[in-house]
Every structure is written in structure tokens, then in C-alpha cells.
Amino acid sequence: MKKYFGKPILLMFIIVSLVIAKEPDKCFECHQSLGDKPSELFSRDVHFQKGISCAGCHGGNAHAEEMEQAMDTNAGFLGVPKGDAISETCAKCHSSEEMLSKYQSQLPHNQLEMLETSVHGKMATSGKEHIVQCVTCHHSHGIVSVKNATSPVYPLNVVQTCTKCHANAAYMKTYNPSLAVDQLEKYRTSIHGEKNATGDANVAECASCHGSHDIQNANDVRSRVYPTNLPQTCATCHSNSQYMKEYNIPTNQFSEFAKSIHGVALLQKKDFGAPACNDCHGNHGATPPGISSISKVCGSCHALNAELFSESPHKKAYDERNFPECETCHGNHGVVDATDKLLGVSEGAVCIQCHQHDKFPKGYETAKTFRSIIDSLEIVSKAAIQLVNEAEQKGMEISEAKFKLRDAQQARMESRTMIHSFNKEKFLEVTKKGFEVAEFVRSEASLAVDEFYYRRWGLGISTFIITIVAVSLFFYIRRIETKQQTHNTSST
């Protein structure tokens, strides 16, 4: 039915609106003379300025002289819409491409549709309406353009609008008890929040990251702040060199991150254990970590490395020189896979950046020794793995040695971690364990390979002996049977 009558009704609505626009709006005149709040607000409303009457939303006859006629339900008077009827009233025009183009509006016509499929489109606890209606954020009679500084959804105001509900613990617990209600407080401590408070409408506010009509739960894969989507969301502003020009900060963070060990893990391998931007920088309380805190950020995941570093002689040296801790060797956004190549004094190593032979010979030698030991450990481990594989391919039972390989691998990992202590004794202690395990595995695997050849030789010799016995037996049988035949022939 709706399909057949929708368009004629819409057309009628347009005609009525046009007629109303040309004639004096009696509803507004009357209410203004009464000096009521709605009419006062409506006089500044974008809809009023575009010639839309009170009857556009409330229905009735805007040209009737008498109130009874104007507000006659037979004339289509609706009164004050309640619940979902509010958004449906807005959608009569805002979901209609024809109506929006008639008023030269560039607004998308699917806002209600997006709202209904968003996290706010769920049913309220009353069960009678959706959680959020259009007026919840945009207000009702004093609606102005989003670009207007007085709009509740203007970038400088939107945080207050969102926190009307989101900072209300009593209200929020009825929907999501685990959701924090201190986002605004944290936001104000961030660089985004600080700049927003000083009137910078270009910095990120709630809607910049979460979206507006289409906000999804952060755990929803469609959400702009879902871990795998978040770097791209941040990059919308932070990779835009034009947009970021006045802030004088680099715009290559996303491209660097996407190539980094973290970025590849998160964006390509979908490994949610890998950090997104907010895991290091925070989210609502976003603030670039300073030199004093960066080790704490990295250390929240790489705990042991951070602990060893803080006890190492490097800690003091870095602090004195104002060097960022982890970042000095590993970089920040473009952090690469920490292979053994980073260690030592050869090409591609980071130690040599400070420990040149002529300036710091002791550090130079230590770095060189570390690298040489870790290389040796890798060589013996690889040799052990190769032998285990060879023995396994030969069908030998080598599961115990194979299991022990994990210990060798573990020792290698531990030794790489122990480098952060920059303590030779501690490092040698760990690597010694690795060398011992690798040697055990190698010798077990080697024995298995030898055993394989021993079996082949054993088989060859025993088969040969058995065959000789079998052939001899064959000839022996022939001999006795020939004898028997001769005996039988002679006896007959």
C-alpha cells in the first residue's frame, strides 16, 4: 500500500508546504505573540529560515484564523510527536531525496536508516522506542546547521552533547554497565581535548572517530574504532598533510605503521594481540607519550625487556642524553622485526650508532661479542634442527629430541631478551643453556641418523646371510630329493 500511495502523499505534502510558505504562518504568529520558548527558538531554526512551518512537523492548518480549526485533528493536526514518531516525522523529509533537493540540501537521505542500524538504534530499556531520536542530539525547535557554532553537534559542542548521556553513570549502566563514563574527563587531558577546549574545531572530537549516525559498538567489526579499522580512522586526519599543516607534526605515521611488525600483524594477519594507535597513545585520553613514559607504553606488552632495560647501565645514559628508551634502537611507528641483525657492530646494527670503536671501545667489544654469541647459538640450533629433520625424514623415532628443540628455541628467545640487560654475565648464563640444549639435540639426532645407516647395514648383512642359508637349503632339498629318486628308481 505504502508503495502505491507514498508518492501522491509526498506530492500533496510538497504542494501544501509551498502554499503554506507563501501565506502567513498563523501557528508561528500566534505562538510568537504568546512569547513561548518553542516559537522563540524556531525563529532561529534552519527549517523556519527555509520557509517550513510548524505544521510541517506538527500537522494541522497553518492558515486557519481560529485555534480550534488550526489544531483540528481532521485537518491533520498531530500535536507533539512522541518516541519513534519524532524521528519518523524528521524522516518524512530527511529520508526523501526529492524533499532534500527541493530545499537545496546536500544532506544524505539515509541518516535515519544509519541511526537505526547503529548502536543507538537499539530499543530503549522502556521497550517502546529506540534509544536515540534525532532531537536527542540536534534538539527540536532551534535546529541549526552542523557548521553553525551554536549547533549542539558543532565540533566544539559535540563532546558536551554526547556526554549528556555518556557521562551519566546511572543512565549508562542501564545499557552498558561495563562502559566507562569518564571519556570527557580523559578527553580534556588529551591534546585533542585541550585544543578543542580552546576553540579549535578541527581537532578530533567524539564524532571524528566514532562517526555520527552510524556509530557502532567498539567491538563491532563495522566500527571505525574496531582495532583493525582504527589506524585508518586516525589516518583520516593524521595522514592528511594539508589538514595537519598548522599542527607541524609528521603525517607518515600510518604508512610507517602499516609496514611495521605491529602494523603487518594487525592489518594483514588480523592479530588483535598487536597494538593499534590507541594501545600506545591511549584513546580518549590521547596524548603523545613523552620520553619519560614511552618505555612504560612499550613495557606494558614487552614487560621483561623494559624491566631489564630499566636496571641496565643504558637507562642512566639515555636519561642523561634525553634519548627515548625503546625508540632509540627500535623506532616508533615503523618498528621493525627485532632480528639479530640489529645487534652488534656490523652493517644494519644499531649498537654501532653510539658505540663506535674509537669512542666507546668497551661497548663496541661487548656488542660485538653479543652478536657473535647469538650468531653461534643460531648456527648450532639450526644444525640441530637440520639433523632432527633428517632423522625424522629417515623414519627414526626422535620425538624426545624434537621436544627438546623447544628448549633451545626458548633459550634463544631468552638470550635475545637478556640483551636488554646489557650485562655480559647474565647474557652468557642464558646462552650457555641454549648451547647445552642444542648440543644434546644435535647428538641425539646424530645418533638417530647413525642408527638409520646401522639398520640398513644390519639389514643388508642379515638378508645376505639368510639368503645364503635359504639357497643352501634349496640345494640341499634338491640333493636329497635326487638321492630319493635314484633310490626309488633302483629299488623298482
Partner 1 sequence: MKTVLKNIYSWIDERVHLEDVVHFMGKKYVPVHSHTIWYYFGGVSLFLFIIQVITGILLLLYYKSGEELAFESIQFIMSKVQFGWLIRSVHSWAANLFILAAFIHMFSVYFGKAYRKPREITWLSGMLMLFLALAFGFSGYLLPWNELAFFATKVGTDIAGVVPVIGEPLLVFMRGGEDVTGATLTRLFGFHVAVFPGIFTVLLAIHLLLVQRQGMSEPLEYAVEKNTVRKTMPFFPNFILRDLLLWLIVVNILAILAVFFPWELGKKADAFAPAPAGIKPEWYFLFMFQTLKYIPAQIWFVDGEVLGILLFGLAGLLWMLVPFWDKKSSRGERNRWVNYFGLFAVMYIIIFTIIGWLV
Stretch that binds partner 1, among 26-34, 94-102, 361-369, 398-406 (CB under 8 A): 398-406
Q: How far apart are alpha carbons 294 and 417 in whole angstroms?
A: 18
In whole angstroms, the minimum distance from the beta carbon of 456 to partner 1 comes to: 7
Residue 130, helix vs strand vs coil: strand
Phi/psi at 130 (nearest 5 deg)? -75, 160
In whole angstroms, the minimum distance from the beta carbon of 445 to partner 1 comes to: 12
Closest of 335, 202, 169 to residue 263, by C-alpha? 335
Query: Which of 182, 397, 429, 436 touches partner 1 (CB under 8 A)?
Result: 397
Q: How far apart are alpha carbons 112 and 88 in whole angstroms?
A: 8
Q: How far apart are alpha carbons 431 and 416 in whole angstroms?
A: 9
Q: How far apart are alpha carbons 312 and 317 in whole angstroms?
A: 9
Residue 429 interacts with partner 1 (CB under 8 A): yes or no: no
Query: Which of 107, 180, 476, 487 touches partner 1 (CB under 8 A)?
Result: 476
Query: Which of 15, 67, 123, 480 touches partner 1 (CB under 8 A)?
Result: 480
Q: How far apart are alpha carbons 174 and 325 in whole angstroms?
A: 44
Query: Which of 474, 483, 486, 487 touches partner 1 (CB under 8 A)?
Result: 474
The interface mask with partner 1, positions 267-306, x = CB under 8 A, is: ----------------------------------------
DSSP letters spanning 196-246: HHTT-TTS--HHHHH-STT---TTSTTSTTSTTTHHHHHHHHHT-HHHHGG
Residue 467 interacts with partner 1 (CB under 8 A): yes or no: yes
Q: Which residues between 430 and 459 bind partner 1 (CB under 8 A)?
A: 448, 455-456, 458-459
Measured at the alpha carbon of residue 263, what is the angle toward residues 259 and 266, in degrees to the nearest 5? 145
The interface mask with partner 1, positions 376-395, x = CB under 8 A, is: -------------------x
Tell me how many residues contact partner 1 (CB under 8 A). 23
In whole angstroms, the minimum distance from the beta carbon of 455 to partner 1 comes to: 5
Q: How far apart are alpha carbons 372 and 377 in whole angstroms?
A: 9
Query: Which of 241, 462, 482, 486 touches partner 1 (CB under 8 A)?
Result: 462
Residues that bind partner 1 (CB under 8 A): 395, 397-400, 448, 455-456, 458-459, 462-463, 466-467, 469-470, 473-474, 476-477, 480-481, 484
